[in-house]
Structure 1
Amino acid sequence: MSPTTAAVVPLATPAISSLTPSSGPTSGGNDVVIAGTGLSAVLSVHFGSSTATFAEVPSTRLNVIAPPGSGTVSVNVTTVSGTSNSLSYIYFPPPTLTSLSVTSGPSSGGNSVTLTGTNLSAATSVRFGPSSATFTVVSSTQIIATAPPGTGTTTPGGTSAGVGYTYVASPGS
Structure 2
Amino acid sequence: MAPVVTSVSPAQGNPAGGTPVTINGSGFIGATVVRFGPNLATNVVVVSDTQITARTPPGSGTVKVTVTGPTGTSTQNVFFTYTTVAAPVLTALSPTSGPTGGGNTVTITGTNLTGATQVLFGAAPATILTNTATQIT
TM-score normalised to structure 2 length: 0.62
* Corresponding residue of 1:14: 3
Could you tell me which residue of structure 1 aligns to residue 28 of structure 2? Answer: 39
User: How far 1:124 sits from its partner (Å)?
Assistant: 5.5
Match of 1:47, as an amino acid?
A: F
Supply the distance in 1 between the matched residues of 2:78 and 2:87 (Cα, whole angstroms). Answer: 23
What are the within-5 Å matches in structure 2 for residues 40-119 of structure 1?
40-53=29-42, 54-84=44-74, 85-93=76-84
Check whether the contact 1:14–1:39 (CA below 8 A) recurs between aligned residues: yes
1:93-112 Cα shifts (integer Å, max 9, x gaps): 3xxxxxxxxxxxxxxxxxxx
Deviation at 1:89, TM superposition (A): 0.3
Give unmatched runs, 5+ long, in structure 1: 1-11, 94-121, 137-173
1:65-87 C-alpha deviation (Å, 9 max, x unpaired): 10011111111111110111231
Higher RCO structure (Cα 8 Å, ≥6 apart): 2
Instruction: Provide the rounded CA distance (Å) in 2 between the counterparts of 1:47 and 1:15.
Output: 15
Runs of 4 or more consecutive aligned structure 1 residues displaced over 4 Å after TM superposition? none
May I ask how many residue pairs the two structures share in their alignment? Answer: 95
Q: Hey, what does 1:134 align to over in structure 2?
A: 110
1:33-81 CA distance string (max 9 Å, x none) = 0000001111211101101121111110001110011111111111110
Q: Aligned to 1:36, what secondary structure does the other structure show? A: strand
Give the aligned CA root-mean-square deviation in angstroms: 2.2
Q: Residues of 1 paired with 2:78 and 2:25: CA distance?
A: 11
Q: Which runs of 5+ in 2 are unaligned?
A: 92-107, 113-137
Rg comparison, structure with higher value: 1
Which amino acid in 2 is paired with 1:44? Answer: V
What is the identity percentage for the equivalent residue pairs of Structure 1 and Structure 2?
Answer: 35
Q: CA offset at residue 133 of structure 1?
A: 6.3
CA distance in 2, matches of 1:77, 1:135: 35
Please give the TM-score of this superposition, normalised by the length of structure 1: 0.50
